[in-house]
Structure 1
Amino acid sequence: MGQSNVKNYLHIVFSTKYRKEFIKGPIEKELHAYLGGVCNAMGCQAIIVGGYTDHVHILCKLSSRVALMDLLRNVKAKSSKWMKTKDESLENFSWQRGYAAFALRDNDAPIVINYIKNQHAHHSKKTFKEEYIQLLEDENMDYDEKYLWD
Structure 2
Amino acid sequence: MANTYSQVHLHFIFAPKFRQALISAAWETSLYKYVTGIVEARQHKMIAINGMNDHVHMLVGFRTTQSIGDFMQDVKADSSQWINTNRFCDSRFEWQAGYGVFSYSKSQVPDVIRYIQTQKEHHRRSTFQEEYRSFLEEFEVVYDERYIFKSPQ
**TM-score normalised by the chain length of structure 2:** 0.93
Q: Structure 1 residues 34, 88: CA separation in 2 closer, same or farther (over 3 Å shift)?
A: closer
CA distance in 2, matches of 1:116, 1:61: 15
CA deviation after TM superposition for structure 1 residue 88, in Å: 5.5
The answer to whether the 8 Å contact 1:7/1:61 transfers is yes
Q: How many residues align?
A: 149
Looking at structure 1, the residues matched to 89 and 76 of structure 2 have their Cα atoms a distance apart, in angstroms, of: 18
Q: How does 1:69-88 map to 2 (within 5 A)?
A: 69-87=69-87
2:46 matched residue in structure 1: 46
User: Matched residues in 1 for 2:90 and 2:79: separation?
Assistant: 12
User: For 1:114 and 1:80, how far apart are their aligned partners in 2?
Assistant: 26
| Structure 2 equivalent of residue 101 of structure 1 | 101
Q: Which residue of structure 2 aligns with residue 135 of structure 1?
A: 135
Shift of 1:87: 2.6
SS in 1 for 2:27: helix
Q: Is the contact made by 1:19 and 1:54 (CA closer than 8 Å) also made in structure 2? A: yes
Distance 1:89 1:96 in 2: 15
More helix by share: 1
| 1:125 matched residue in structure 2 | 125
Report what 1:32 is aligned to: 32
Give 2:84's aligned amino acid. Answer: K
Q: Residues 89, 141 of structure 1: CA spacing in aligned structure 2 closer, same or farther, 3 A cutoff? A: same
Q: Which amino acid aligns with 2:39?
A: C
Confirm whether residue 17 of structure 1 aligns to residue 14 of structure 2: no
* Residue matched to 1:62: 62
Q: Is the 1:35–1:75 Cα contact (8 Å) retained in structure 2? A: yes
TM-score normalised by the chain length of structure 1: 0.95
The whole-number CA distance in structure 2 between the counterparts of 1:148 and 1:92 is 22
Residue type at the aligned position of 2:83: M
**Partner amino acid for 1:9?**
H
C-alpha deviation, 1:92, in angstroms? 1.7
Stretches of structure 2 that go unaligned for 5 or more consecutive residues are none
**1:63 aligned counterpart, secondary structure:** coil
Structure 1 position 24, deviation (Å): 1.6
Q: Is the 8 A contact 2:27 2:88 kept in 1?
A: no
Gaps of 5+ in 1: none
Local SS of the residue matching 1:130: helix
